[in-house]
Chains A and B, each alone.
Chain A
Amino acid sequence: MEQFNIELVDWSRAQFALTAIYHWFFVPLTLGLSFIVAFMYTIYYKTHDEKWKHITKFWMKLFGINFAIGVATGIILEFEFGTNWSNYSWIVGDIFGAPLAIEGILAFFLESTFIAVMFFGWDRVSKKFHLLSFWLVAFGSNLSALWILIANAWMQNPVGTNFNPDTVRNEMTNFFEIALSPTAVFKFLHTVSQAYIVGALFVVSVSAWFLLKNRHVLFAKKSILIASVFGLLASIFVALTGDSSAYDVAQKQPMKLAAMEAIYNGEKNADLYAFGFLNDNKDNDNFKGIRLPSMLSIMAFRDADAFVPGINDIVNGNAEQGILPAETRMAKGRLAIQALADYNKAKKEGNTELANQKLQLLEENYAHFGYGYFKDKEEIVPPVKLTFYSFHIMVGLGLFFIVFFAWMLYASIKDKVGKYKWVLQLSVWTFLLGIIASELGWVVAEVGRQPWTIQDLLPVGISTSHLSVGTVQTTFFMFLVLFTVLLIAEIKIMLTQIKKGPEEGDSHV
């Protein structure tokens, strides 16, 4: 795509990645902690045990700090849509409008209203209403995530819409097809459940620190028990939804799957790369490490004998497997783009018959529309090594979390949590591992789908606004400073609050 300013595209991409990564430091903790404090308050509500009240209050404060610092950081992404990605925003506007409007209303009414009841309601509203406010905050936060993730899933798998050639906008034809597409459902379940892991790891990390300092021991042990149950369930669920997501990616975004596994030449009984390193070969001798026989075929198609297409198959085509070469799709894409131009010209000239012919040609080739902007077939390949390592480190950490939470739960039940100092020291750092896994999940999802903003229909290069590179660079560094300050403020305030521990009056816990 030589006609685009690649520097502008890359800076716009870098800015979006920067804001999304920073935004995602805050979100999973909000989603995860909201449920954990709701569980804790529920135990207090059921048992009337004051210890649980103090435990709930402590974690609620940390939740509040994270919520306050992180709130509205996602709005910046919406700013960027309108400024840096105006072509893209125009083309998808109708699809994003509905989910984001619902998200805004839900976020405002559910979270903002009930978060106040949650914080100010102690001894001032009935316990039942207070309990309800905890759960509504948790569900409200997660519902907000739902709408954003539906919008993101549509970009990966654009269904339930119709492209209007008069306005060049995608118009929603079936809301439920968009909201309930397998991509949206699995993306939502996988994303929020990994956020629960982050929340649970945070509780375990802070509690382990208290145990290492021999402070608030009972409080820490009870917190670890709750977090371990929640974290273990979430980490098993993440593995299951991750498997379903991979299956969905195999059907809808085969190039992404090929990059995730760095598979160049497609094959039947394809192996899954379990642990190892890539070299620079662009064939299947590109990996040194442990392979799991046929597992990739099973993961991608639920069949050990299934053929899994590789990067070379998707770029060069594979007639036997019915995969069109990228160059054929590029030619069809150019036909579609020319048909759009001819349709608009014929319409302006009042030539209805010609306009209808061109419209039909556009519709016949619309599935390849975005390919028409590429000059070189290799442009359809995402960064393979980054996608591969991000995917494998994420999966490795996910499996580690299952073992970790299982051990913590066992140790909690057997009252052995504080027995091994090295386990506590490791536990303190697991929160960081959770954040890394969480961010890497987004790297896989977003880097793996390059070069598309909308899969097969709109490449990144055509999505950007015609701005000067300097403008985007300026705002990039402004965000870098703003978000770094916010992150430092969050860490500082959090650490101060954690060091204070449960309030003095609660020291008996």
Chain B
Amino acid sequence: MKKIFEFYWNGFRNMSVHSKKLWVIILIKLFIMFFILKLFFFSDFLDSKFESDKEKSDYVIEQLINN
């Protein structure tokens, strides 16, 4: 485990400045996607309205038969 950790640690430490900038872009991107977009704009529609699978399926059945 120690060897694996050192492998990654040294790999990241010895990266060029360009590669480090790239990692910053990746982290910002992932932050925007998972902590801003997902949390505030992309909640699961059915999960946000219903508790159980039964309620969700009843809702979708209503959608299918009343349209």
Contact = CB atoms under 8 A, between A and B. Distances in A.
28 contacts: A1-B67, A64-B22, A68-B23, A69-B26, A72-B29, A72-B33, A76-B37, A82-B44, A82-B45, A83-B41, A84-B45, A87-B60, A116-B7, A116-B8, A166-B57, A337-B64, A344-B61, A461-B67, A462-B64, A465-B45, A467-B45, A474-B41, A475-B42, A482-B29, A482-B37, A486-B25, A493-B22, A497-B18
B42 A82 contact: yes
B60 A90 contact: yes
Contacts of A489: 25
A469 to B, nearest CB: 15
Nearest to A503: B16
A65 interface: yes
B45 A75 contact: no
Given A86-B45, A116-B11, A120-B7, A168 B30 contact: no
Interface in B5-62: 7-8, 10-11, 18-19, 21-23, 25-26, 29-30, 32-33, 37-38, 41-47, 53, 56-57, 60-61
A486 B25 CA distance: 9
A91 B26 CA distance: 33
Contacts of A89: 46
Given A76-B33, A120-B11, A167-B57, 17 more contacts: A3-B67, A4-B67, A64-B19, A71-B26, A82-B44, A82-B45, A83-B44, A86-B45, A90-B57, A116-B7, A168-B57, A169-B57, A344-B65, A471-B41, A474-B41, A475-B41, A482-B37
A75 B46 CA distance: 18
B37 A79 contact: yes
A120 B8 contact: yes
A333 to B, nearest CB: 11
Interface of B: 7-8, 10-11, 18-19, 21-23, 25-26, 29-30, 32-33, 37-38, 41-47, 53, 56-57, 60-61, 63-65, 67
A297 B21 CA distance: 55
A467 B45 CA distance: 9
Contacts of A474: 41
A68 B26 contact: yes
A324 to B, nearest CB: 22
A257 B63 CA distance: 31
A478 B46 contact: no
A344 B65 CA distance: 10
Contacts of B19: 64
Contacts, number: 102
A340 interface: yes
Given A169-B57, A474-B41, A462 B10 contact: no
Secondary structure of the A side of the interface?
Answer: helix
A82 B33 contact: no
Interface string A324-355: 00000000000001101100100000000000
A471 B37 CA distance: 12
A80 B25 CA distance: 23
A470 B30 CA distance: 25
Contacts of B53: 167
B25 A90 contact: no
A83 B23 CA distance: 29
A388 interface: no
A340 B65 contact: yes
Of B23, B25, B43, chain A has the most CB atoms within 10 Å of the CB of B25
Nearest to B14: A120
B42 A120 contact: no
Enumerate the 4 nearest inter-chain pairs by beta-carbon distance, A residue then B residue, closest first: A120-B11, A86-B45, A341-B65, A82-B44
B28 to A, nearest CB: 10
Contacts of B23: 68
B7 A69 contact: no
A124 interface: yes
Nearest to A338: B65
Contact of A79 (B25, B29, B42): B42
A80 B37 CA distance: 11
A482 B57 CA distance: 34
B61 A168 contact: yes
A489 B29 CA distance: 11
Contacts of A344: 61, 65
